[in-house]
Every structure is written in C-alpha cells, then in structure tokens.
Amino acid sequence: MKKIVSPAEGISHRNSFHEHLLATARPIWGAILSHPFLASTADGTISEDVFKTWMVQDYLFVREEIPFLGVLISKAPPHLRPPLADAVVTLNRELELFREQANAAGISFDGISMSPTCHAYIQFLMATAYGRSFEQGFTLLYGVEKAYLDSWVRVKSRQRSRSPWQAFIDNWTSDAFQDYVAWLAETLDALATGKSEADRANMEELFLLAARYEYLFWEMAARGKTWPV
Amino acid sequence: MKKIVSPAEGISHRNSFHEHLLATARPIWGAILSHPFLASTADGTISEDVFKTWMVQDYLFVREEIPFLGVLISKAPPHLRPPLADAVVTLNRELELFREQANAAGISFDGISMSPTCHAYIQFLMATAYGRSFEQGFTLLYGVEKAYLDSWVRVKSRQRSRSPWQAFIDNWTSDAFQDYVAWLAETLDALATGKSEADRANMEELFLLAARYEYLFWEMAARGKTWPV
Amino acid sequence: MKKIVSPAEGISHRNSFHEHLLATARPIWGAILSHPFLASTADGTISEDVFKTWMVQDYLFVREEIPFLGVLISKAPPHLRPPLADAVVTLNRELELFREQANAAGISFDGISMSPTCHAYIQFLMATAYGRSFEQGFTLLYGVEKAYLDSWVRVKSRQRSRSPWQAFIDNWTSDAFQDYVAWLAETLDALATGKSEADRANMEELFLLAARYEYLFWEMAARGKTWPV
Amino acid sequence: MKKIVSPAEGISHRNSFHEHLLATARPIWGAILSHPFLASTADGTISEDVFKTWMVQDYLFVREEIPFLGVLISKAPPHLRPPLADAVVTLNRELELFREQANAAGISFDGISMSPTCHAYIQFLMATAYGRSFEQGFTLLYGVEKAYLDSWVRVKSRQRSRSPWQAFIDNWTSDAFQDYVAWLAETLDALATGKSEADRANMEELFLLAARYEYLFWEMAARGKTWPV
C-alpha cells in the first residue's frame, strides 16, 4: 500500500509550479485541514445532520463538476482528452457511491438543491472553464482535487476507529485517487512551463480562490448555511 | 417627469411573463426592498464605511457585468444586438460615475478585490451566459436590473433630504434607466412567448436566484462580509 | 444480427421530430448516399489515394469531435451526461481504429492538417455547441452520426466482396453504432417535445447544414480539395 | 490627409509580433491583394452581379462579426473592453452603410443566406472566440481587419475614376479605419509580449487561417460559389 504523504512535505522545495501554488496557499490550506468538520469526522464526533448536509451538497457538487470537465475536455490538447474523459467516468462512479451511501443512511436526493456556497463554487468552476484558457481551468481542477485529497488524508491519518462514513474516507485516500492527483500536479507543471508571468499569476489567483471556496464548503456543511431568503 | 411606479403595482395582474416572475419572487423582493441598507441610505443614517464598501463592490460588479453583456450579445438575435451594445456603453458611463464619486469621496479603487458575494454573483452571471440559452441569460439581466431599479426607487421614495450619495440614487431612478428596464421586461416577455414549460421553469429558477444574490449583495455591503481565509 | 434498415424506410411516417428532419433533408440525404465515394468504396474501385485522403481527414474530424462532445456534456441535463461520456470513450476507441488501419496501410498521421472542408465542419460543430442551446448542439450530433450510419450502411448493402477498408465499414454499421444512433434519435425526439416552433426551426436549420457539410466532406475526399493558398 | 501606407512597407522590419505575422503570411497576403475581385473593382470592370454577391455575403459577415466581438469583450481585460465596445458600434454603423448601398442598388437583404465560405469563416471566428484564449481570438480580429484595410487600400491606390461602390472603398480606407487597425496591431503586440512560444505559435496559426479564409471569401464572391446541395 502506498505511503500516505503528509501535505506539509509536498511543499518543502519550491521548484515546480504546483509546489509554488501550495506554498502560496499555505495559510488557507492550513485553515482547510484544521477545519472542525474534518477533525470531528476523524474522531467520530461529527453529528449525523452535519455529515448528511455535506453528503447532499457534495453529491450536487460532484454531479455539476462533470459539466466543468466537459468544458475542459473541449479546450484540452488531444493528448489530455482521454485522461479527462476517464475523470468523467470516475465522477459518474463517485455519484453511484453517493447514491449507495445515501440509500444506506436513509437520505433521499429527491428535491435537493444547492446551498449558496455550493452554487457559487460551481458557478466559479463553470465561468472559469468557459471564459478562461485551458491552463487556467486546469489549475482550478487541480485545486479542487488536491484539497480533497489532502482533506481526506488528514481525516484518515487521525482516525482511531472505523467511521460510519468510511466509504467516503477510503474513496478520496485511495491509491487511484492519489495517482490521479499526482497526474494533475505533473500535468499542471507541464502546462505552466514557458507560460508568461501574467498567465502564471492568473493561474495562482484562481488556485487561491479554489482554496477559499474549499474552506467555505466545509464551513457551509458544518454550519448548515442556506439561503437567507 | 415620469411617475415613479411602486414596485407592488407592477405585479398586480399576471398576464405577462415578467409579471409572473415578479409575483413568484415577491417574498424575496420584499426582503430586498426592506433591507436596512436601503432604508438607512434613504434616511441618511447609513455609515460612510458601509456605503463605501458597497461602492467598491458595486464598481467591480458593474465592471464585470460588461463581459456578461458581451456573451449575451454573442448569442442574441440580430435585432437585439444594438440595444445590448448600447447597454455596454451605458455601463462604461456608469463606471465613470463610480470613479468620479469615489474620487470625490476620497476612495481609491487601486488594489480592490471582490468580496465572496460579489465574486459568486459575477460567476453566476458568466456561467449562465456561457452555458445556458440566450433567453435564460437575458432573464438574469432583467432580474439584476429590475432589482436595482426597484431598490433605488424605494430609496428615492423614502428620501426626505438630499443624500451625499445622490448621484447613485438619481442614476438608477432616472427616466433613461426606467425606460431600459421597461424595454428589458417587454423583450423578456417576447422571448418567453411560445417557450416550452421546461424552458420557462428554467428562466424562473434563474430569476429567483438573481433575486437571492441581490439580497445577499446588500447583506454583504451592510455587514462588510469578506473572505474568512 | 440486426436487420439493416434502409434509410428510406425510416422517413415514411412523420410523427416524430427526427423523422421530420430526415424528410426535410431528403434531397441532400439522397445526394450524400449516392455520392461516388460511397459507390466506389462499395464496389472496390475507389483509388487508394482518395480513401487515404478520407482516412486522414476523418481521423482529424473524429479527434476534434471529442471537444464538441465535451461542450455538449457541459450543457446536458444530468441524465444525458453518462451516455455522452460513453460516446467520448467510443470516439477514443475509434481513433485507435484509425491509427491501426493507417499503420497497416502505411499512412503516417504525423504533420497532417485539416482540409478547408474538415476545418469548416469542425468550426461549425464547436461554434454551435458553445453558442447555441443544448438541444441545438444535440441536433447536430444526431445529424453527423445519422449521416455516417446511413452512408456506411449504404456501402455495406452494395458490397459484393470484402473491402481492404472493411474495418471502417464494419465499425459504422455495427449493432453498437446502430443502437447509438437509435438512442440519439429517441433522445432528440424527447428534447424537441414541447419546444417552441422557433426552437424547432433552428434545430432543423442546423440539421440541414450538417447534411450539407456531410456532402461536402465526401466531395472533399473524392476530389482531394485542399487550401488554394 | 493620412498617407496611405503600402502594405509591403509594413512588413520590412520584423521586430514586432504583428509584423512577424504579416511576414509569415506574405504569400497568402500576396494572393489576397492580387485577387481579380480587387483589380476589377479598382478598374471598374467588375460585374454588378459579382459585386452584389459580395455585398450580400459581406453584410452577413459584418452582422455576424458582432457576436464574435461580443465574446472577445467577455474575455478582454477591463481596459480593452471600451474600445471593443466601440468596435461593435462601428460595425452597427457599417451595417447601416450596407443597407443604404443595397437600397440604392436595388438589392434586397430579405431571405438572404450565407454561402459555404461565409458560413465557415463565421464559424471559425465564433469557435475561436469561445474556445480559445482572448489573445488568440484577438489575433483573428486583427487578421480580419488588416486584410480588409490592405485589400481596400489596394483598390483605392489602383482606382483611376470614381466607382459606383465608392462608399465601401472609402469606408475601409478612411482615417478612422486605418487608426483602428493600427490600434489592433499595437494591442496585439502588447498581448503577445511575454507569451510562451507555444502560445505565439497558436496565434500565428490562427492568423494564417484568417488570411486563407479572406482569400476564399474573394474567391466565393468572384465565382458565386454556393452550396452544391
């Protein structure tokens, strides 16, 4: 089994673009990884309501991440289209996981709708994919997935007993998911090579925004934030 | 001078699509129009800080509404392109108004950045314009502008003395702006004619979301909400 | 084995939208199906050069159809995303078929570029997918695939002996491909249901344009048309 | 009055990006500028039918260039949005010119439709604007407008007597149009500064394609090319 790399190790030397991004985002990343949602999932004290709120909202997020990948495919150079198409297949399988787990937990996905944070995050993905260059959209994809890998690795590393939500924890700490995120990092580094300073600054800005939205997503789940009107 | 129509009157008979939208959104619209930001702007008790927060964020909103209109122009039928191009020219003039007023109030627009609410709202506009049909994007434009007209008309109708921010109040209650919003309503009604129930339901959903974001925008300004990380 | 349906049969009764489209396009469809490229492929008299021109251009077409599907996925309702993602996987497999056949025939795909007709056709797909509604983009997908099914079914029905290009003939007359095109037709009918007359007229216009481009594609291959400058 | 610069002069030294593009495109540019359509417009021997074909197709082209500019506005940095919005206003005025001239010449624009070349060219503009980066779309705008400036300057420089189509010749050789194209060139140079080699290669490829489509457009007009089916 693959050694679980601590997120902190990954940003110690700064000679690649993805490492630079992680170093720049370190304070936000720290806030994400120390969020009570993750700690309470790890130690089993999380309330069922809070976890179910997350399940509903993350199901909607994953479902609407597929259109985001669709636009990325449309702008990708030919050699990156097959792995991105595979990522869509993986997301479709993840939706199955959500449906199974929801079913087992007695949660219905009928008539659910997005919280403001989930809605805003998805709009951000779509607006970026459509309106910006492929490299910029891809940076966002890396941010989204890297934050999930690191968040769930953090949960797993702090677990002392099996969780009722183990299937989710295992999903985003699996070898397959780690390989995927490693591929995203490598590919991002290749895409950033030779890009102008202005282009890299735009990519960095988008990465930091993705990190901020990740933090807000845990906040939304933990506090059950909905539309005030 | 044109009689200022009370927003409530506009939704009394429901035989047009825009009236249907306003009737459906009535509770959210009520929350918007009774927001403390508007009441305190009208009676002069609004703090300078709060108003300046709004100025900075609304300047960014107006600036980034232009790309939204750009995508609408790209999808519009030929006869709607010239009036939408005129709307871009008007927004550019509005940006001038903001810069003059900011200058007069000693506010600098250097280095400003979007609050989460402003960012989310703009992402919503762009994602909709790019990803949805022209009719759906246009519905959003109507929602944004109608909310502004009604909000500032509410302020003006409650004013008992001149405001330091009179230029903004006058801008969005002017005859020209009222005519523009009336044209948006008529055009929307024409666009909705003959559309399928599913299409109209999508348009309604987007209109309600626009109303929700409008409410959140006043909230953000009033409470000075920024990124927590 | 599935009975090969003559294209003519498919348009005899006109109670569905896809049948209406085929009936409207009948003259263009006739020109496509009686194109010398198909007749000479069927009877084995096609020159190797002409077939190789087609192989190169159709490889590029299939490759660039994937971004088109990417945009369709981004605009599709949730239940249509998985089958469209499967279509991308199929196209990736088709690219493999092209590479194998090219390799066997001693054709290199290095440094190839699009003829004007192939370039124009792909631009048409992409501009439609990005700029128009999902229903309109989907209509184009149906046109592209239905024309291919009918064209290759025509070749197969006229074959008296095995072709050196049998792998292509078999690919687009397979049960799997017939099922896919049947699914496209059904789905298109469902999408058209309840659409306004104006929307259906737009869909029809796009379908006829797709048919025209299909005809031009065979012409381009048969005549080896390239950029004059 | 501004000196009309010969197109050849503009590409003598190669220290800017737009000059590099023009140098690379020189053979295609030569074919454009020596096209019989331009020569026969200059010496007055052009047939009325040929010129009218061009008028109809170019009217449609200009009309559909506005959506192209709409997408460019949506992706432009803030400081480039106002001049691009002005360009839309100019195109709307150009459409008026077409309508006046058509009216004077007894041409009706009712029921006209795009030739294959005009359709393909517009699809190319739209697909590029939506799918590619702003810099790439802007390169295309420069190519389109620079080809028109140089073509009509060539006509004007060869004229010995007033043309019945003088209004068009004057329009695209005016000081205002020359200033616009000069601004496009400068702005393109600024956009290209610091871009990666791969980005600049993509921009160059798009510029060469624009030049090829310009040549095909004159060909289409001169030969009255329409859809074969």
Q: What is each CA distance from C191 to A76, B95, C16, C77, in whole angstroms?
A: 28, 42, 11, 11
- pLDDT recorded at residue A217: 98
Strands (E) located in A46-127 = none
Chain C hits for D28, Cβ within 8 Å: 229
Shortest distance between the Cα of B154 and any Cα of chain A, in A, equals: 19
Task: Give the range among B78-87, B139-148, C202-211, D12-21 with minimum mean pLDDT.
Answer: D12-21
Disruptive mutation site among D63, D80, D86, D88 for chain B (greatest number of B CBs within 10 Å): D88
Name the residue among D63, D74, D82 with its Cβ closest to that of B67: D74
Contact D66 B81 (CB under 8 A): yes
Name the residue among D123, D128, D212 with its Cβ closest to that of C124: D123
**Using one digit for the tens of pLDDT, what is the confidence trace for D48-73?**
999 999 999 999 999 999 999 999 99
* % residues pLDDT > 90 (chain B): 93
pLDDT at C2 over 50: no
Shortest distance between the Cα of D203 and any Cα of chain B, in A, equals: 22
- pLDDT recorded at residue C202: 97
Between CA A199 and CA A197 the distance in angstroms is: 5
Q: Which amino acid is at B179?
A: D
Q: Please indicate if any CB of chain A lies within 8 Å of the CB of B227.
A: yes
Shortest distance between the Cα of C73 and any Cα of chain A, in A, equals: 5
> What does the mean pLDDT of chain C come to?
94
What residue of C is the nearest CA neighbor of D219? C228
Chain C hits for A70, Cβ within 8 Å: 69-76, 81
Contact C227 D212 (CB under 8 A): yes
Contact B73 D69 (CB under 8 A): yes
Disruptive mutation site among B74, B75, B134 for chain D (greatest number of D CBs within 10 Å): B74
Between CA C136 and CA C198 the distance in angstroms is: 12
- pLDDT recorded at residue A2: 47
Name the residue among B131, B197, B199 with its Cβ closest to that of C74: B131
Contact D73 B76 (CB under 8 A): no
Closest CA to C141 of C223, C199, C67: C67
> What does the mean pLDDT of chain A come to?
94
Q: What is the pLDDT along chain D (229 residues), one digit of tens a residue?
A: 344 444 444 444 447 999 999 999 999 999 999 999 999 999 999 999 999 999 999 999 999 999 999 999 999 999 999 999 999 999 999 999 999 999 999 999 999 999 999 999 999 999 999 999 999 999 999 999 999 999 999 999 999 999 999 999 999 999 999 999 999 999 999 999 989 999 999 999 999 999 999 999 999 999 999 999 9
Between CA D83 and CA D112 the distance in angstroms is: 31
Structure tokens at B82: 């010239």
- pLDDT recorded at residue C225: 94
What residue of B is the nearest CA neighbor of C194? B196
- pLDDT recorded at residue B194: 87
- pLDDT recorded at residue D5: 47
Residue C109 phi/psi, 5° resolution?
-95, 5
- pLDDT recorded at residue D129: 98
Shortest distance between the Cα of C3 and any Cα of chain A, in A, equals: 32
Residue D2 phi/psi, 5° resolution?
-65, 135
Q: Which of residues 1-30 of A touch C (CB under 8 A)?
A: none
Q: Which amino acid is at B227?
A: W
Tell me what the mean pLDDT of segment B175-195 comes to.
97
Between CA A54 and CA A224 the distance in angstroms is: 9
Between CA B32 and CA D207 the distance in angstroms is: 49
> What does the mean pLDDT of chain D come to?
94
Tell me what the mean pLDDT of segment A132-136 comes to.
97
Chain C hits for A63, Cβ within 8 Å: 78
Between CA A66 and CA A58 the distance in angstroms is: 13
Q: Could you tell me which residues come within 8 angstroms of residue C157 by beta carbon, excluding any fewer than 6 positions away?
A: C4, C6, C42
pLDDT at C61 over 60: yes
pLDDT at A202 over 90: yes
Between CA C81 and CA C120 the distance in angstroms is: 27
Tell me what the mean pLDDT of segment B161-170 comes to.
97
What residue of C is the nearest CA neighbor of B74? C131
ipTM of the complex: 0.93
Between CA D15 and CA C224 the distance in angstroms is: 38
Asked if residue A7 lies in contact with residue A29, where contact means CB atoms within 8 angstroms, the answer is yes
Shortest distance between the Cα of B134 and any Cα of chain D, in A, equals: 12
**Using one digit for the tens of pLDDT, what is the confidence trace for C10-32?**
444 447 999 999 999 999 999 99
pLDDT band per the 50, 70, 90 thresholds, residue C176: very high
Any idea what the Cα angle at residue D41 is, between residues D38 and D46, rounded to 5°?
115
- pLDDT recorded at residue A222: 98
- pLDDT recorded at residue D194: 87
Name the residue among D71, D74, D85 with its Cβ closest to that of B92: D85
Name the residue among C74, C130, C194 with its Cβ closest to that of B196: C194
Q: Please indicate if any CB of chain A lies within 8 Å of the CB of C73.
A: yes
Chain A hits for D130, Cβ within 8 Å: 130
What residue of C is the nearest CA neighbor of B192? C196
Q: Which amino acid is at C91?
A: L
Contact D66 B88 (CB under 8 A): no
pLDDT at B82 over 60: yes
Name the residue among D68, D73, D130 with its Cβ closest to that of B67: D73
CA torsion, ordered C38, C44, C49, C53, to nearest 10 deg: 30
**Using one digit for the tens of pLDDT, what is the confidence trace for C187-221?**
999 999 989 999 999 999 999 999 999 999 999 99
**Using one digit for the tens of pLDDT, what is the confidence trace for A115-132?**
999 999 999 999 999 999
Is the pLDDT higher at D13 or at C146? C146
Q: Which of residues 76-135 of B touch A (CB under 8 A)?
A: 116, 119-120, 122-124, 126-128, 130-131
Between CA C88 and CA C115 the distance in angstroms is: 23
Contact D126 C123 (CB under 8 A): yes
Q: Please indicate if any CB of chain D lies within 8 Å of the CB of A75.
A: yes
